[in-house]
Copies of this chain bind each other. A is one copy, B any other.
Amino acid sequence: MKTGQDTPLNPTINDIARVAKVSLATVDRVLNARPGVRDKTVQKVHKAIADLGYVRDTAAANLARGRIYNFVFILPSNSNEFLSSLETQIDALSRGLRHERTRLSFIHVAAFDPVALAKAIDSLDTQAIDGVAILGPETPSVRDSIAHLKENGVTVVSLVADIPSSERDHYVGIDNIAAGRTAAQLLGRFLGPQQGKILILTGSMLARDHLERRLGFDEVMARDFPHLQVLASLEGRDDPDLIERLIPGALFDNGNVIGIYSSAAGNEGLLRFFRSGACHPKPVVVAHELTPLSREALAGGLFDAVISQDTGHLVRSAVRVMRAKRDKMPINAAQERIRIDVYLKENMPPE
């Protein structure tokens, strides 16, 4: 055995109270940075904490506090499979967490609409809420609204698309540049030496995740596959109907499209187009997000690869991070890093 040989019991607040020669209440005050303690006393306590290597037992703390964490997810009101999966996961986790003093809820805001998003954020009751997870565009008004949340002590995480210029505490989602690079690599390798054009479906130029994917995609295409010509992005606004209408024209105008990178939501439109039989030979397709529809497409050979992020992990991670930030506890970076999942029909998870 290499670890856990001896079992020196962890010090408790009783120990530090004893060592610092103060009462439990005082230890608690400095632990929680509450006012009304003389500076000298604070020092004494901190010294004892450091000397004993004290780490607070959050489970016991929460039990005593009777605290209930209240977290809100703000999501686009758009309807697509990825979002409903996210919502399903929130509901499921919410049920599981009812018995761990944590309440989750979500609200909807018009997609790609920074003004509506800012308004929704501003309308939140900062007194009643401990943390907010935001999936939406990055604009000055959104940044301001986030700053306002932070001022009022609310923890903020960005979800799926980062808002790095804001004061958000953490970003929960994949590295979208790397995701775009991965898509390019797959498409390029699968196509082999043949020459032709690549069509890119995106959602909106306002969505940071979509932009970043395109960036990464172009970079690898230019570097490794110069014989493939990447066309301008088709903006589908994550809307299946719009996408279905746009595709035929784009394909016809350009000719010789041998690959498609569907980098946003709305796969349904693309699939409807394929199923109409209007496309021979079928281009190699790399799409995003594993959903019932994309699974089927993968299984049936309509999609060749799907790049995905696990919505369950996304939601669990957002909640863990918001809790940790709230408790001023450290987060485990490795556990919270959302993986860029690559799915072929062979490694799709069951169900």
* Interface positions of A (Cβ within 8 A of B): 1-5, 7, 10, 55, 57, 59-60, 62-63, 68, 70, 72, 87, 90-91, 94, 96, 98-100, 103-107, 178-179, 181-182, 184-186, 189-190, 192, 216, 220, 304, 310, 312-313, 316, 332, 334-335, 337, 339-347, 349
Are A100 and B59 closer than 8 Å at their CB atoms? yes
Which of B2, B220, B304 has a CB less than 8 Å from the CB of A91? B2
Which of B10, B104, B107, B316 has a CB less than 8 Å from the CB of A98? B10
What is the bound-complex CA distance between A185 and B186, given in angstroms? 12
Are A179 and B90 closer than 8 Å at their CB atoms? no
Are B96 and A332 closer than 8 Å at their CB atoms? yes
What is the bound-complex CA distance between A167 and B13, given in angstroms? 43
Known contacts A4-B104, A99-B57, A105-B3; A346 and B63 CB within 8 A of each other: no
Are A105 and B1 closer than 8 Å at their CB atoms? yes
What is the bound-complex CA distance between A247 and B278, given in angstroms? 49
Task: A1-B106, A316-B335, A337-B349 given; name 20 further pairs at CB < 8 Å.
Answer: A1-B107, A2-B91, A3-B94, A3-B103, A4-B70, A57-B63, A57-B100, A59-B59, A59-B100, A181-B347, A184-B346, A185-B345, A185-B346, A186-B344, A190-B190, A192-B192, A220-B346, A340-B347, A342-B342, A342-B347
What is the bound-complex CA distance between A348 and B96, given in angstroms? 32
Are A68 and B347 closer than 8 Å at their CB atoms? no
Q: Which of A103, A106, A189 has the most CB of B within 10 A?
A: A189
Shortest distance from the beta carbon of A105 to any chain B beta carbon, whole Å: 4
Shortest distance from the beta carbon of A13 to any chain B beta carbon, whole Å: 13
B-chain residues with CB within 8 Å of residue A344 when the two chains form the complex = 182, 185-186, 342
B-chain residues with CB within 8 Å of residue A104 when the two chains form the complex = 3-4
Which of B4, B186, B340 has a CB less than 8 Å from the CB of A103? B4
Known contacts A104-B4, A220-B346; A99 and B185 CB within 8 A of each other: no
Shortest distance from the beta carbon of A321 to any chain B beta carbon, whole Å: 15
Known contacts A59-B62, A178-B347, A346-B178; A2 and B100 CB within 8 A of each other: no
What is the bound-complex CA distance between A192 and B340, given in angstroms? 25
Shortest distance from the beta carbon of A57 to any chain B beta carbon, whole Å: 6
B-chain residues with CB within 8 Å of residue A304 when the two chains form the complex = 189
Shortest distance from the beta carbon of A115 to any chain B beta carbon, whole Å: 21
Are B181 and A346 closer than 8 Å at their CB atoms? yes
What is the bound-complex CA distance between A316 and B334, given in angstroms? 11
What is the bound-complex CA distance between A63 and B63, given in angstroms? 10
**Which residue in chain B gives the minimum CB-CB distance to A6?**
B103
B-chain residues with CB within 8 Å of residue A57 when the two chains form the complex = 63, 99-100
